[in-house]
């Protein structure tokens, strides 16, 4: 899955560049931001666990796509925030949110046959925003570009 690695590279780049401004943003916190970039793709668990099984177990309507939206990512960020020490919660919340937001933004740029993205802002709206269609999630070149930018950001930060 080249897109998952690309999301990690994007979050790494953003967090590494932010670490130049914020002294507290150490390597451990950069990793938290990268973990946040994986949150929306937790929806891919649908490959292993059918939504109908979860729906039957919860006795509530359920769809894994909800995790891959603003609302679903926000709930997952909240879960990630409450499981860390109270003193780290504000930073972890911000970095998980930043990682998840970078993922959702990058996915909003994907090429779709309809020319429209998915309901990325759900539950605020069910609007499918237009997408510029810059790349496919299967494009390997994107991983090379984002990886090169991540290495450049790391080199820049390590020399600063």
Percent of the chain with pLDDT over 70: 99
Q: How confident is the model at residue 16 (pLDDT cuts 50, 70, 90)?
A: very high
What's the mean pLDDT in 80-102? 97
What's the mean pLDDT in 121-137? 91
Please state the domain count of the chain: 1
At residue 65, the pLDDT reads 87
pLDDT of 1 > 90? The answer is no
Contacts of 92 (CB under 8 A, 6+ apart): 29, 32, 80, 81, 84
pLDDT of 102 > 60? The answer is yes
At residue 2, the pLDDT reads 65
pTM comes to 0.92
Paired tokens of 35: 């973990």
Domain span at 104: 2-158
| Mean pLDDT computed over every residue of the chain | 94
- What's the rounded Cα separation, in Å, for the pair 52 and 56? 6
What's the mean pLDDT in 100-124? 93
Q: Which residue has 């949150």 as its token pair?
A: 39
- What's the rounded Cα separation, in Å, for the pair 152 and 66? 34
Of 121 and 11, which is predicted with more confidence?
11
On the 0-12 / 13-18 / 19+ scale of CB atoms within 10 A, 102 is: buried
At residue 160, the pLDDT reads 82
Question: Are 59 and 25 within 8 A, CB to CB?
Answer: no
Paired tokens of 154: 């790391």
- What's the rounded Cα separation, in Å, for the pair 21 and 23? 7
What's the mean pLDDT in 47-58? 92
């Amino acid at each position: 899955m080249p897109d998952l690695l690309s999301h990690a590279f994007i979050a790494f780049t953003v967090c590494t560049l932010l670490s130049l401004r914020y002294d507290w943003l150490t390597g451990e916190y950069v990793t938290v931001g990268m973990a946040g970039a994986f949150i929306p793709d937790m929806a891919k668990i649908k490959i292993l666990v059918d939504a109908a099984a979860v729906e039957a177990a919860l006795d509530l309507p359920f769809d894994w796509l909800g995790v891959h939206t603003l609302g679903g990512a926000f709930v997952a960020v909240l879960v990630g925030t409450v499981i860390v020490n109270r003193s780290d919660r504000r930073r972890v919340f911000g970095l998980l949110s930043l990682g998840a937001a970078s993922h959702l933004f990058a996915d909003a740029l994907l090429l779709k046959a309809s020319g429209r993205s998915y309901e990325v802002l759900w539950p605020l709206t069910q609007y499918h925003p237009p997408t510029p269609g810059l790349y496919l999630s299967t494009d390997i070149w994107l991983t090379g570009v984002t990886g090169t930018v991540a290495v450049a950001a790391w080199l820049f930060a390590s020399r600063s």
